[in-house]
Amino acid sequence: MGSVASFFGQLFGKEEKREEERRLRANDRHFNLSFHYVNNAIKTSKYNIFTFLPLNLFEQFRRLANAYFLFLMVLQLIPQVSSLSWFTTAVPLLLVLTMTAVKDASDDINRHKSDKQVNNRTVNVLIDGVLKKEKWMDVQVGDIIKLENNQFVTADLLLLSSSEPLNLVYVETAELDGETNLKVKQALTVTGELGDNIDALAGFHGEVHCEPPNNRLDKFKGVLTVNGQTNALDNDKVLLRGCTLRNTEWCFGLVIFGGPDTKLMQNSGKTVFKRTSIDHLMNVLVLCIFGFLASMCSILTIGNAIWETREGSVFTVFLPREPGVNAPLTSFLTFWSYVIVLNTVVPISLYVSVEIIRLGNSFYIDWDRKMYYPKSDTPAQARTTTLNEELGQIKYIFSDKTGTLTQNIMTFNKCSINGKAYGELFDFSGQRVEINEKTEKVDFSWNQLADPKFIFHDHSLVETIREGNLEAQAFFRLLALCHTVMPEEKKEGELYYQAQSPDEGALVTAARNFGFVFRSRTPETITAWEMGKQVTYELLAVLDFNNVRKRMSVIVRSPEGKLTLFCKGADTIIFERLHPSCNKLKEVTIRHLNEYAGDGLRTLALAYKDLDQSFMEEWKQRHHEASTAMEDREEKLDELYEEIEKDLMLLGATAVEDKLQDGVPQTIEQLAKADIKIWVLTGDKQETAENIGYSCNMLREEMKEIFIVSANTAEEVKEELQNARRKMCPESADEPSVIKSRAGLFWLKKTENVQDEKVDGKYALIINGHSLAFALENNLQLELLRTACMCQTVICCRVTPLQKAQVVQLVKKYKQAITLAIGDGANDVSMIKAAHIGVGISGQEGMQAVLSSDYSFAQFRYLQRLLLVHGRWSYLRMCKFLRYFFYKNFTFTFVHFWYAFFCGFSAQTVYDEWFITFYNLVYTALPVLGMSLFDQDVNDRWSFQYPQLYTPGQLNLYFSKKAFVRCMMHSCYSSLILFFIPWAAMQDTVRDDGKDIADYQSFALLAQTCLLVVVMLQLCLDTHYWTAVNQFFVWGSLAAYFAITFTINSNGMFLIFTFIFPFIGTARNSLNQPNVWLTIFLTSLLCILPVVAFRFILIQLRPTANDKLKELQQVP
């Protein structure tokens, strides 16, 4: 639609220029209107009453299957071609269209309602010097509005002033990014002075230049010009629509972006739909079926041409040709008539049924109590309902470590201060003492503000601090000052920290307990209690943390006027920036760090630097310039940071423990048994990762070798990878065996497949981020992939979010295997989106991973249930469904094909038209849905016990092109029986009273009854799990068939609708004949016996794991 709209837009020369910069002036509607910015009304609905029908139909007919059936219907309206009444296609098509339309309509009505509700919310707007209540939709860009506590933010606002000191505002961003911790925003001082003075606000005419509307939630760039002075604007000064004001009495804001331009609305754009491999296969198959249909019709057309010249031309005495139609034209028309008759090979209800099955299986995931985490009251959630069966085919899992394998509940465990390690207990003989629950805890009662939940066991550290050790004090002072935690002190002394990352929370809490209590912060100051004394530091600059910098610094001025930069960050990063005088300390600290990492702890290095007053003045000036720059602001800032963060003095290092989640080792073992390869991609240090690898069973002592790749040049990386590979498999070729093939629609997609290589023995590979960067280069990619895929376990450490995604894409590209990525943090989003299936752990680190995931739950261990139970069942059910669905439709259609040879290729149907209409929709719809919603080969307990049951899915065993061909052969056999047995049985046969039974109508009834009985029996054979619902569906459908048939054949229906129910009396006159029933019995028997025999022999000769387990399960 978008393209259509833009096309017309161009046509009328109305195409809007893309906005390059936004300019607006406060309180000046006239000025702002000249830019034609949109107002604050939003419209998420797609249709209105008048456009619904045409637009919705247009959308629906864009689907290939629907368009095809529309085309068929048009064909049926041509009398010369029409071999079936219009209703045979119209009724199913209408039903499918109506179902979709009703769903779309109800969705759209809901959107209309919510739009209306949102647009009609009121807010105080400053107009002509007075505050007036206005509807949200009437708010314009450049208006000043007043928000009160707990109100939703109306539009994207520039914060002007607030009721809180220092113009602070607290907001909750749950609706925006799902995170529930409060975030703080601060207005510029120059606007903050306005306060709630209405006159001053009305007289405010600041001008804003800022970026055009975009969807980046964490970035904002702009300048505010007030009275000729320019002030930098960043994300901290902007309130985004979707946030809620908290703990703030009121605030004033200037509308920058309204309605659809807001970052919230810009973010709700189209998401890329993931499609499963079965979807792709289905599209290919449907195309094959089209081809097959065309060839069948062609054969019948040729047959018709021959028949017309030999027989038809002489039969014209009884059946003259229509005027203007000769034999070749008849054949041509026959082609189209047969397209109509055989249309059922392309099943109209296929796509609808597939959607229903997936939806059902998604609901099972939502409903599963065994994937519900009571502690956080979180059930599992299938956020995408279209990927279920792929859960049963996973071959590679890419997992984050922190928060995914571990709990992400951080506890401050150990530290190294000035070369001395604290946190471990030694007995008198110097032996390390195991710390357990009974170990005596450090008493923090001397500290009134201590957190009672904090536990520490090493008394010496407290003593050191209380003795007044300067390094130790500086160490904890740094922890108390250098962070982004927000304190909340509802009651005097009851401190509560709101931290964006649990690491920080743990560190600040540790500092608090050791006597350096962080109490409150303002944008310009930090107040802490140091050993009982209140000290207020002036905060000069905050050098933010990000994934590239991997460090954070603050520059503060102490009450004595001393300028200090405190820095904490990843050890490697800090060590690069140390003053040479710290070299000795550095070595000791590195030793400690290695020990900590060996214990699986997360480490940070701490350092400080005293600053010179004059240097600081000058730096600050440049910092201001850089931060108000409109271009390359980030690069300039980075340079400045780099300049000041050098020659640091090392203080020590911290070690924070992140415990493994429950059941992680067992889960990993299970998944490994299911032949799923698990790669851990973590940002942690190599030693930490290695250790976690051991503790969660991924690295085991029995492994032959664990290769570690940590080289610094591409050549070295290549060599190390090759060496590893040669060791695992000496005979492996130098060049990878890449199988290039084509797949997809029209075979347009080129695929490359790197073969798995056989390795005996188990190996593991650990590669660090530095080497990974080289290995992911084009020339080394395959080398990495080959080596990594030979290993049982792969751990990549120190990887960036981008590298995570690259690794996933590498495997996706060359392995043609289904991948799953699981993670919990914002840094996992890229990998979650890149993988076939993304799973989010709803844990401690906010909700971003969950919001971009396809499935989410609270604990890593639920992954095994998701894959081994739900995934496996979904895959099994989908495959059973597809196999059966194609079987039943092909069988149905092929009978027409055989009949063609007896009816002069005249496109006469075998069945009653009503049977054709109802076959897919009424008679067989529910039983097959019942099978594909309830079937289980073995129950969930056995699925867990025997993870090897998972492998058929990975190998695509249950449904593939081969299985499809087998289905067709089976259908072919069944249809031969279904046509020729009744044909032979009805030859010259009469009723027991001598009257007709070999007539067309009786034969049609016989053929369709045989067909229905046979497909039902086949369904019964395929169903392994017979619940009461299945029974009801099967028997109910058969009963419905007979009830409907007798109704259609009744006198009443004929007398009312003479032309559409000509089969009057057929059911009564033929279904009371023994030979009819004997024929039905014989056809069913002949269709079923070979299938049963074949399956039985297969079970006896080559039983699959499933067969064995089913057998076992039978024995109670």
Partner 1 sequence: MGKVKGNSGPLAQRPDNSAFKQQRLPAWSPMLTANTVLPFFYFMALICMLLGVWLLLTVQSIQEVKLDYTEAGTCDVCFEKRKNVSNAGQSCSCTVEFSIEKAFKGDVFFYYGLRNFHQNLRRYMDSRDDGQMVGRKNKLKNPTTYCQPFDKDSAGRPIAPCGAVANSMFNDSFSLKYHGPTGASVPVPLYRKGITWYTDKNVKYRNPRTENLTLAQEFEGVAKPPYWKNPVYQLDVLDPTNNGFINDDLIVWMREAAFPNFRKLYGILYRADKPFTKGLPVGNYSIKISYNFPVQYFRGRKEVMLTTLTWFGGQNHFLPIAYLVTSSLSFLLAVVLTVVWWKFGKDGKNMEE
Footprint (CB under 8 A) of partner 1, residues 1043-1082: 1051, 1054-1055, 1058-1059, 1062, 1064-1065, 1068-1069, 1073-1075, 1078-1079, 1082
Q: Is 400 designated active site? A: yes
Least distance between partner 1 and beta carbon 597 (Å): 38
* Pick 475 or 897: Cβ nearer partner 1: 897
| 87, 292, 1025, 1046: residue in contact with partner 1 (rule CB under 8 A) | 1025
993 belongs to the binding site for partner 1 (CB under 8 A) = yes
Of 456-464, 665-673, 904-912, 915-923, which part binds partner 1 (CB under 8 A)? 904-912
Of 412-420, 494-502, 663-671, 1084-1092, which part binds partner 1 (CB under 8 A)? 1084-1092
315 belongs to the binding site for partner 1 (CB under 8 A) = yes
Amino acid in position 893: T
117 belongs to the binding site for partner 1 (CB under 8 A) = no
| 564, 1002, 1009, 1037: residue in contact with partner 1 (rule CB under 8 A) | 1002
* Pick 152 or 898: Cβ nearer partner 1: 898
Contact 946, 1105 (CB under 8 A): yes
Annotated binding site for Mg(2+): 400, 402, 824, 828
| 165, 452, 1101, 1116: residue in contact with partner 1 (rule CB under 8 A) | 1101
1111 belongs to the binding site for partner 1 (CB under 8 A) = yes
How far apart (Å, rounded) are the C-alpha atoms in residues 650 and 583?
A: 9
Neighbours of 1011 (CB within 10 A): 28
Least distance between partner 1 and beta carbon 299 (Å): 18
311 belongs to the binding site for partner 1 (CB under 8 A) = yes
Binders in 849-878 for partner 1, by CB under 8 A: 873
| 985, 1010, 1014, 1080: residue in contact with partner 1 (rule CB under 8 A) | 985
Least distance between partner 1 and beta carbon 966 (Å): 18
* Pick 558 or 908: Cβ nearer partner 1: 908
| 999, 1022, 1044, 1046: residue in contact with partner 1 (rule CB under 8 A) | 999
How far apart (Å, rounded) are the C-alpha atoms in residues 397 and 376?
A: 25
Binders in 911-970 for partner 1, by CB under 8 A: 934, 936, 940
* Pick 372 or 694: Cβ nearer partner 1: 372
Binders in 383-402 for partner 1, by CB under 8 A: 383, 385
| 191, 231, 276, 337: residue in contact with partner 1 (rule CB under 8 A) | 337
Which structure tokens are listed for 380?
Answer: 């599992």
Whose structure tokens read 């020590």? 652
How far apart (Å, rounded) are the C-alpha atoms in residues 370 and 699?
A: 28
Cross-strand partners of 749 = 743
Binders in 609-668 for partner 1, by CB under 8 A: none
Binders in 63-92 for partner 1, by CB under 8 A: 83
* Pick 366 or 538: Cβ nearer partner 1: 366
Angle (CA) 992 997 1002, round 5°: 135
User: By C-alpha distance, which of 591, 517, 577 is closest to 543?
Assistant: 577
Which structure tokens are listed for 240?
Answer: 């985004």
Q: Name the DSSP class of 380.
A: -
Of 309-317, 464-472, 640-648, 759-767, which part binds partner 1 (CB under 8 A)? 309-317
| 904, 947, 952, 953: residue in contact with partner 1 (rule CB under 8 A) | 904
Cross-strand partners of 538 = 525, 557
Q: Name the DSSP class of 648.
A: B
Least distance between partner 1 and beta carbon 514 (Å): 34
| 53, 109, 990, 1056: residue in contact with partner 1 (rule CB under 8 A) | 990
Least distance between partner 1 and beta carbon 1112 (Å): 8
| 2, 320, 730, 1116: residue in contact with partner 1 (rule CB under 8 A) | 320
Neighbours of 463 (CB within 10 A): 12
* Pick 142 or 312: Cβ nearer partner 1: 312
φ, ψ for residue 157, nearest 5 deg: -115, 150
49 belongs to the binding site for partner 1 (CB under 8 A) = no
For 242, left (φ over 0), alpha (ψ -120 to 50), or beta? left
Residue 592 to residues 62, 281, 503, 568, Cα–Cα distance (Å): 64, 55, 19, 17
How far apart (Å, rounded) are the C-alpha atoms in residues 641 and 1043?
A: 82
* Pick 478 or 1087: Cβ nearer partner 1: 1087
* Pick 610 or 993: Cβ nearer partner 1: 993
Contact 1072, 1046 (CB under 8 A): no
Annotated binding site: 400-402, 504, 545, 568, 602, 682-684, 798, 804, 824, 827-828
Whose structure tokens read 């047995």? 981
φ, ψ for residue 282, nearest 5 deg: -65, -40
Neighbours of 1086 (CB within 10 A): 16
How far apart (Å, rounded) are the C-alpha atoms in residues 732 and 112?
A: 63
901 belongs to the binding site for partner 1 (CB under 8 A) = no
Least distance between partner 1 and beta carbon 821 (Å): 21
φ, ψ for residue 828, nearest 5 deg: -95, -5
* DSSP states of 747-803: G-EEEEEEPP----S-EEEEEEHHHHHHHTSTTTHHHHHHHHHHSSEEEEES--HHH
168-172, strands of its sheet edge to edge: 182-186, 168-172, 244-246
Contact 746, 287 (CB under 8 A): yes
Contact 1012, 928 (CB under 8 A): no
Annotated binding site for ATP: 400-402, 504, 545, 568, 602, 682-684, 798, 804, 827-828
Count interface residues toward partner 1 (CB under 8 A): 105
Amino acid in position 534: Q
Catalytically annotated residue among 400, 503, 571, 912: 400
Contact 557, 571 (CB under 8 A): no
| 485, 510, 775, 907: residue in contact with partner 1 (rule CB under 8 A) | 907
Contact 528, 482 (CB under 8 A): no
* Pick 408 or 1030: Cβ nearer partner 1: 1030
Whose structure tokens read 């980030």? 634
* Pick 483 or 877: Cβ nearer partner 1: 877
Neighbours of 303 (CB within 10 A): 17
33 belongs to the binding site for partner 1 (CB under 8 A) = no
User: By C-alpha distance, which of 829, 824, 845 is closest to 181?
Assistant: 845
Least distance between partner 1 and beta carbon 845 (Å): 20
366 belongs to the binding site for partner 1 (CB under 8 A) = yes
Any idea which residues carry the catalytic annotation? 400
